[in-house]
Amino acid sequence: MAALLEVRGVTKRFGGFQALSDVSLEVREGERFGLIGPNGSGKTTLINCISGALGTDGGTLVFRGKDITRLPAHQRTRLGICRSFQIPRPFTSMTVLENLCIPLEYAAHGQVPRSAVASEAMEILRLMGLDAKAQARPADLTGIDMRKLELARAMAAKPRLLISDEAMAGLSPAEVDAILPILFALNERGITIIMIEHIMRAVMRFSQRIAVLDAGEKIAEGTPEEVVSNKRVEKAYLGE
Amino acid sequence: MKKTVPLWVVLGVVVAAFLFTRLGGNRYIYFAGYFVLQYIVLATAWNVLGGYTGYVNFGTAAFFATGAYTALVLILAFKATLPVQIVAGALTAGLLGLGIGYLTLRLRGVFFSIATLALSVVLQTVVSNWEYVGGGKGLSIIRPKAPALFASHAEYLFVVMVLLAAASVALAWWVQNSRVGRGLAAIRDNEEAAECMGVPTLRLKLFATTLSGCLMGVAGTPFPYYVTLVEPGSVFSLDYAVNSLAMPMIGGTTTWVGPVIGAVLLGTAQQVATVTISSELNLLIVGIVLVAFVMLAPQGIVGLVQRLFHRRSR
């Protein structure tokens, strides 16, 4: 399998704080990739660097063989990188359906004919089990539906790489079991997925490979089994 | 077919306004009508940036004055006709909008607003010290003869303003219902999420500041002939900033119709108050109405109507 995304030696500083130091990893086409690490280890910062919300202070990002290090976020989305937010950020003045029309009209511009935008959005909502709420406002959604909307909107951008930033944080075990199959289904449709998660049960079940960040450095990478038996990982999570 | 409808509406409104001037009648009607129409343009322009995109501009007067002073310079230098002044005013104010957008759009929320307010103050200082356009004491100009078909300049300016107002509203309507308008709404709701969904936020915001500035400038271009005395104190008046913000807020900021409703209501109320009570009472009225709306109907009249309608349909 070829590499879809290559992160080469990415470094990010916030003033005197080193958030990421020389992080390298490779995500292959079609892969389910897990990214874990204790709080403050730099997971979301790395995602922000990959999606373009933050610039990097060093290193390169290569997506589908193209250097994207200097591209603004919206152009990366058009190339096929889309992320969902840890705390859902819906477009509050729009209905659930209209929320999906924005990425369909912008990120997927040219891929979806104008007349098909609404039906395409409805199709995605159905896939997510949100079709009954199409005309609702985001403010009227439950917590889990809000997470589904966040994923649905990212899907509408027609990504090749979907970055799911803690899509399941704060959900009950039953709700986690409702979101996981959705992510599996998306992966089966050929979408590469990077999952950032604190819920170990979910990441372990979902990921084919996992990278572990601690204090801005990658300390381990491998299959879920390899990662859990890694001494450094154990130390990062549990201390000496 | 649907796309040409606004064009016909604009044309129809202008022809109707022209026929109305043929009826003659009290000149004051045209003077007061012009005042209200000018605010339809300003409120609509403000709303493109403030309502659609969510960036509150306190510098309306700066753009309005750019239009007015561009017109004045053209009159002084070339005796340019009004259509030329309008095009030039639109271009200069649009350019100012683009430049200011580029410099300030990295600022969000209240910081952007402060920057636009500062722009107004800076420009006023510059103009007050520019002798060619009369400096701080202003300059009187004489209107040329009214063009053919018009009884006087008041009627002519009135019809021109009707055209400008109708065109601005049509433009705002178009923006609101276009892909661009939906992109602007996404920026207003959540800028970071919009960017992540492929919306080129910087480019769209620059479009909004340019269009908004351009229309505000357009509203100012006929001003020299309207008042015939151009002085910084009145051109840079706080009234413009306050009114063009209050009118969309009262009417409703998310649609094209809100600023029109707000401008007609507030503009008329101010004219009535000026004639019947006192000309100093204007801003007091605006203030009271604005506070009442912010507290009782934050979505404006349009939001109020929509809510009533929703309740009934349920």
Reduced to 3 states (helix: H, G, I; strand: E, B; else coil), residue A203 is: helix
In angstroms, the first-to-last Cα distance of chain B is 33
Size of interface A-B (CB pairs under 8 A): 77
User: What local confidence, expressed as pLDDT, does residue A79 receive?
Assistant: 94
CB atoms within 10 A of CB A181: 9
Q: Does domain A1-80+161-240 have CATH number 3.40.50.1820?
A: no
Per mean pLDDT, which of A108-112, A199-203, B170-174, B305-309 is the most reliable?
A: B170-174
Q: Is the predicted ipTM greater than 0.85, yes or no? A: yes
Q: Which helix (H) or strand (E) holds A14?
A: strand A3-14
Q: Which residues pair with A217 in a beta bridge?
A: A214
Tens digit of each residue's pLDDT (9 = 90 or more) over A62-73 = 999 999 999 999
User: From CA B206, how far away is CA B48, in angstroms rounded?
Assistant: 11
Interface touch A91/B189, C-beta < 8 Å: yes
Q: In whole numbers, what is the pLDDT of chain B averaged over residues?
A: 89
Mean pLDDT for B296-310 is 84
Q: Which helix (H) or strand (E) holds A235?
A: helix A231-238
Provide CB contacts within 8 A for B97, sequence distance 6+.
B63, B209, B210, B211, B212, B213, B214, B216
User: What local confidence, expressed as pLDDT, does residue A200 receive?
Assistant: 86
Interface touch A83/B198, C-beta < 8 Å: no
C-beta of residue B132 within 8 angstroms of C-beta of residue B73: yes
Considering only residues B216 and A144, tell me which one the structure prediction assigns the higher pLDDT. Answer: B216
Tokens of A236: 């990062």
Provide CB contacts within 8 A for B99, sequence distance 6+.
none
| Domain interval for residue B50 | 2-313
Tokens of B304: 């109020």
Angle at B281 between CA B278 and CA B283, to 5 degrees: 150
User: What local confidence, expressed as pLDDT, does residue B35 receive?
Assistant: 92
Q: CATH 3.40.50.300 spans which residues of chain A?
A: 1-80+161-240
Residue among A95, A102, A117 with most chain B CBs within 10 A, to mutate: A102
C-beta of residue B235 within 8 angstroms of C-beta of residue B128: no
User: From CA A197, how far away is CA B219, in angstroms rounded?
Assistant: 54
**SS3 sequence, B105-129?**
CCCCCHHHHHHHHHHHHHHHHHHHC
The residue to which tokens 């343009």 are assigned: B41
CA atoms within a 13 Å half-sphere pointing along the CA-CB vector of B145: 3
- The rounded radius of gyration (Å) of the Cα atoms in chain A is 18
Interface touch B196/A105, C-beta < 8 Å: no
Residue B297 pLDDT exceeds 90: no
Interface touch A93/B188, C-beta < 8 Å: yes
Chain A residue with minimal CA distance to B178? Answer: A105
Q: CATH number of the domain that B296 lies in?
A: 1.10.3470
Confirm or reject contact between A82 and chain B (CB < 8 A). Answer: yes
Place A109 in a pLDDT band, splitting at 50, 70 and 90: confident
Instruction: Measure CB to CB from residue B197 to each of A72, A77, A92 and give the nearest one.
Output: A77
Confirm or reject contact between A51 and chain B (CB < 8 A). Answer: yes
Indicate the pairing of strand A81-84 with strand A161-165. parallel
Residue A4 pLDDT exceeds 60: yes
Show which of residues 251-290 on chain B sit within 8 Å of chain A, judged by CB atoms.
254
Interface touch B200/A94, C-beta < 8 Å: no
Pairs from A23-29 (Cβ < 8 Å, separation ≥ 24): A23/A59, A23/A213, A23/A216, A23/A217, A23/A218, A24/A59, A24/A218, A25/A211, A25/A218, A25/A221, A27/A3, A27/A161, A27/A192, A27/A194, A28/A1, A28/A2, A28/A3, A28/A4, A28/A192, A29/A1, A29/A2, A29/A3, A29/A4, A29/A192
C-beta of residue A216 within 8 angstroms of C-beta of residue A18: yes
User: From CA B255, how far away is CA B203, in angstroms rounded?
Assistant: 22
Interface touch A74/B198, C-beta < 8 Å: yes
Give A85's contacts in chain B (Cβ within 8 Å).
192-193, 196
The residue to which tokens 């915001």 are assigned: B205
Q: Which helix (H) or strand (E) holds A193?
A: strand A192-196
Residue among B196, B205, B313 with most chain A CBs within 10 A, to mutate: B196
Reduced to 3 states (helix: H, G, I; strand: E, B; else coil), residue A36 is: strand
Mean pLDDT for B116-145 is 90
Interface touch A89/B202, C-beta < 8 Å: no
User: What local confidence, expressed as pLDDT, does residue B1 receive?
Assistant: 44
Q: Which residues pair with A8 in a beta bridge?
A: A60
The residue to which tokens 């500083």 are assigned: A13
Residue A86 pLDDT exceeds 50: yes
Q: Which helix (H) or strand (E) holds A117?
A: helix A117-128
Reduced to 3 states (helix: H, G, I; strand: E, B; else coil), residue A63 is: strand
Considering only residues A10 and A111, tell me which one the structure prediction assigns the higher pLDDT. Answer: A10
Interface touch B196/A77, C-beta < 8 Å: yes
Reduced to 3 states (helix: H, G, I; strand: E, B; else coil), residue B15 is: helix
Interface touch A105/B179, C-beta < 8 Å: yes
C-beta of residue B140 within 8 angstroms of C-beta of residue B16: no
Reduced to 3 states (helix: H, G, I; strand: E, B; else coil), residue A155 is: helix
Interface touch A78/B198, C-beta < 8 Å: yes
Number of residues that make up chain B: 314
CB atoms within 10 A of CB A170: 13
Looking at the structure of chain B, the number of domains it has is 1
Tens digit of each residue's pLDDT (9 = 90 or more) over A136-149 = 999 999 988 999 99
Provide CB contacts within 8 A for A127, sequence distance 6+.
A152, A155, A182, A185
Residue among A48, A51, A91 with most chain B CBs within 10 A, to mutate: A91
User: From CA B157, how far away is CA A111, in angstroms rounded?
Assistant: 48
Count Cβ atoms within 10 A of the Cβ of residue B280 and give its class: 0-12 exposed, 13-18 middle, 19 or more buried.
exposed
C-beta of residue B246 within 8 angstroms of C-beta of residue B262: yes
Place B18 in a pLDDT band, splitting at 50, 70 and 90: confident
Place B52 in a pLDDT band, splitting at 50, 70 and 90: very high
